[in-house]
Amino acid sequence: MDAFFAAVELRDDPSLRGKPLIIGSLPHERGVVATCNYEARKYGVHSAMNIKEAYRLCPRGVYRRPNMEKYRSISRRLHEIWNEYASALEAVAFDEAYLDVKEKAGDFEGARRIGHEIKQRIRDELGLSCSVGVAYSKTAAKTASEEKKPNGYFEIFTPEAFTALLSDRDVRALYTVGEKTAQKLNAAGIRTVRDIRNRREDVARMLGKQGAWIADLACGIDDRKVTPRRPQDAKSVGREVTFQKDVADTQLLKDVLLLLTLSVDRRRKRYGLHGRGVTLKVTFSDMRSITRSQTVFSADSPVTVYRTAARQLDSLGPAPVRLVGVSIYHLSTEEERQLRFEDILEDPVQRREAAIRELLDGLALRYGLDFAGHLEQIFQGDTLHKTVEYMRKHKKPDPV
């Protein structure tokens, strides 16, 4: 999709047309650009840019927070359309996917017809534009989809066409080459895709297995299959928040960890996953980030996850915190349970729910909010971030 979040907002609010639109944090907040329209990109704004840098470049732009629920709804409709044509669909993000259309297309002419039909349907049914690349491989299809943005269409039918297109471009034209890898290659005098192809052995020696893979891509070699990704295949499930002002209050940090844990547990249940590890992530005021991980017998109880993360937080000692997050890992669809003696005397589910209610009652006393009755609303869109900011500003003093 073309500047997906921004395009949806432009569709729904025509008064924004012709104006630079930046979706993400607001200029006075901490955070980054999620996406922006093409008018904003003319000023040098791009996704993942610090929001204050974006504001410096484009002070007269329109800044809006993302409406994730709306974008998810449209994304589901996009996937329904795409799945009508694909024998396999590999989602990359809300708004991007690889489609294997060989069965329905038959040949490249059929694929061309499908590509244009998808573009037309998305325009007619959703009022949005997308860019389509039709190619012989995943890397070539990704390259083709970017070649004529926005609202583009491009074809790369052979490895020879791929190498001819990219040979004299910067090494970053290969989508697996990031900034740090490009710096290593540049330091060795390898600046173009042609250089990679001509110095395959050097690249492989410098970068190991990754280097051999990059060298293959530079030659147009990519035999990866389109592999559907299921939520059940995730390596971890987590959530984090960035505070608008640093937080040194350990109790507040733990209270935020509780809400994050309950949000993660909600997502885990939705996907039918079971975890056996807990990770705490903290970014301090000086931008130093650390993680602490611990294996547990079962991460199916949010109380266990919360208490594990809280102990990990205590082990760090007091310091101003900019970001905090929690995740569970060692995921599986298989549940592992060990019957404990207290499970015979008391229903473990009831005991778990009682412990959660007790923890949420503590939050209610400290912040004057009915957390237990509004968790579903709190976890929607950016409401969690707003709730956390309210907690930061309105926490009642600890009793003496």
From 18, 39, 66, give the residue that closes a domain.
66
Report if residue 173 sits inside a domain: no
For 88, the enclosing helix (H) or strand (E) is strand 88-93
d(CA 20, CA 3): 12
In tens, the pLDDT along 157-196 reads 999 999 999 999 999 999 889 999 999 999 999 999 999 9
Report if residue 361 sits inside a domain: yes
DSSP state of 156: E
Confidence band for 348, pLDDT divided at 50, 70 and 90: low
CATH code of the domain in which 62 resides:
3.40.1170.60
Query: Among the residues of the chain, which ranges form H helices?
Result: 4-12, 38-41, 51-57, 68-83, 102-105, 108-126, 138-147, 159-166, 179-187, 193-198, 200-218, 250-271, 302-314, 341-345, 348-367, 375-378, 383-394
Q: What is the mean pLDDT of residues 241-265?
A: 94
d(CA 104, CA 117): 13
pLDDT at residue 345, as a whole number: 45
Confidence band for 17, pLDDT divided at 50, 70 and 90: very high
Which of 327, 316, 305, 328 is closest to 250 using CA atoms? 316
d(CA 216, CA 170): 16
Q: What is the mean pLDDT of residues 218-245?
A: 89
Report if residue 308 sits inside a domain: yes
Report if residue 295 sits inside a domain: yes
pLDDT at residue 113, as a whole number: 97
pLDDT at residue 398, as a whole number: 66
pTM of the model: 0.79
Q: What is the mean pLDDT of residues 83-90?
A: 96
Indicate if 96 belongs to the active site: yes
Question: Of 29, 90, 96, 146, which residue is the catalytic one?
Answer: 96
> Domain tally for the chain?
2
**Burial class of residue 318 in the structure, from the number of CB atoms within 10 Å of its CB (0-12 exposed, 13-18 middle, 19+ buried):** exposed
Do the Cβ atoms of 7 and 95 come closer than 8 Å? no
Which tops the pLDDT comparison, 342 or 7? 7
Report if residue 94 sits inside a domain: no
Whether residue 339 is predicted with pLDDT greater than 70 in this model: the reply is: no
Highest mean pLDDT among 29-38, 225-234, 336-345: 29-38
CATH code of the domain in which 322 resides:
3.30.1490.100
Tokens of 179: 């900034």
From 47, 66, 85, give the residue that closes a domain.
66
In tens, the pLDDT along 283-321 reads 999 999 999 999 998 898 999 999 999 999 999 988 999
Full domain range(s) for residue 339: 232-394
From 40, 66, 92, give the residue that closes a domain.
66
